[in-house]
Chain A
Amino acid sequence: MTPSDRGRSLFRFAAPQVFYPLAGRLAPWFAALAAVLTLAGLWLGFFVAPTDATQGEVYRVIFIHVPAAWMSMFIYLIMAFWAAVGLVMNTRLSFIMSQALAPTGAMFCFVALWTGALWGKPTWGAYWVWDARLTSQLLLLFLYLGFIALTRAIEDPRRADRAGAIIALVGAVNVPIIYFSVQWWNTLHQGASVSLTKAPSMATTMLAGMLVMALAAWAYTIAVVLWRVRPMILERERHTEWVGALLDQESTERGGRA
């Protein structure tokens, strides 16, 4: 095996024609997993977890808010990772991945803001306070929207891919700086109550519910991205032979059934 052969076999799944059917097979499994985990997480969060001593029932919104906020940040990092891979290795699938991730990231960002506002009204007495974490979340939403708007505004797919990758990387470098600066700007906010280093200050069932919901968010993201990637691959590769063959095959199947 020559090095280039080995390289090719390693990156076999990066080839769109291999990934396309694979994505189609995997997506339903992740969707099912997401549904099961969401039900389990909501059950834990809304029925099993105890009522919070100080905040009452309102706090239960964190079972959606916190996983959504985590996910929105993770997705930006993953997006930037795929963008970097795409720029370095020049693999088209990486760019497609990062563009397929962006709407889901923006959606989680929005959900985190929305649930944050719902929680803020009874707790702080206002839907919006310029709390450091909410503000950072809002800026992250703007970063997502900028990425989506830029990749949609450019008609040439190759330029859109690579321009989007650059802004995703510039954004990823700036995210920690933005977080730090917003913290500096407003240090009046709740300290992070879930951290890996110190013992969690919340009940075990609360933590379990939140973690299950986080896993559900992961499974949902993977399922949605796999589904979103498929038509994008077809659109990009429509001048290639394998897409032509695939479309022919699908249309004859449909014709046979009718």
Chain B
Amino acid sequence: MLSTFLAVLRRDLLLAWRGRADVLVTLAFFIIVVCLFPFGVGAEPNLLRAIAPGVLWVAALLACLLSLHRLFAQDHVDGTLEQLLLSSESAVLWVGAKVLAFWLSTGLPVVAVAPALALLLDLEQGGLPVLVLSLTLGTPTLALLGAVGAALTLGLRGGGMLLALLVLPLFVPVLIFGAGAVEAELSGTGAAAHLLLLGGGLAGALALAPWACAAALRISTE
């Protein structure tokens, strides 16, 4: 049963490595979006410090959104998706493997560079662990929810904008609790509640999203 999961995971990671330019573009996008804010709102350190958690989270969310269309597009075009849907293993497994590989190749690098960018915005050092933790819990949820949207918009004209319209409202709770966690930590009220809710959201998304995503893929390849 695990063999399908591992085969898909290994292949997608290998593909991410061979096409690593895409990953770097996502990362560059994340960095540039964050760097745009001081130009837009001014370089006043107090202001930047105040908006830092929100800016980092919104940028991470957009970076995730922009790379989501890659999740199934190539497999859809070349017919791999058909073959996966004909696997005798449960589709939930390999959908999970694809999302995991996607997160490891896009979400994890974003999480890794976020602390460095936080220093650019002069976020207090005490908030960094919570920032990393909230992104680690939140971005997989974004990937799982986004996978459903990516599956539904597969092969459609203007699919990218449509995908954004479909999933952005669903991303709002993650954004609220993610950015809120950092702010709560910095304001001294503690981030435990936010992080627990993010963790709960991740568990819920893990339970439901692969299932919805598999159903969506069957519909989209019909």
Contact = CB atoms under 8 A, between A and B. Distances in A.
A184 B197 CA distance: 11
A174 B145 CA distance: 10
A25 B216 CA distance: 37
A33 interface: no
Nearest to A158: B222
A177 B169 CA distance: 11
Nearest to A142: B169
Given A149-B162, A173-B208, A185-B180, A159 B169 contact: no
Interface residues of A, number: 28
B94 interface: no
Residue in A170, A171, A174, A185 with the greatest tally of chain B CB atoms within 10 Å: A170
B165 A163 contact: no
Contacts of A158: 222
Interface string B154-198: 001111001001101110110011001000000000000000000
A180 B197 CA distance: 11
A149 B219 contact: no
A230 interface: no
B35 interface: no
Contacts of A162: 219
A184 B165 CA distance: 23
B187 to A, nearest CB: 14
A138 to B, nearest CB: 9
B172 A178 contact: yes
B138 interface: no
A167 interface: yes
A182 interface: yes
Given A142-B165, A145-B165, A163-B220, A150 B170 contact: no
Interface in B80-130: none
B212 interface: yes
Contacts of A170: 145, 148, 170, 212
A163 to B, nearest CB: 5
Interface of B: 145, 148-149, 152-153, 156-159, 162, 165-166, 168-170, 172-173, 176-177, 180, 201, 208, 212, 215-216, 219-220, 222
Interface of A: 139, 142-143, 145-146, 149-150, 153-154, 156, 158-159, 162-163, 166-167, 169-171, 173-174, 177-178, 180-182, 184-185
Q: Which 7 A-B pairs have the closest CB atoms?
A: A181-B173, A142-B169, A146-B166, A162-B219, A181-B176, A146-B165, A185-B176
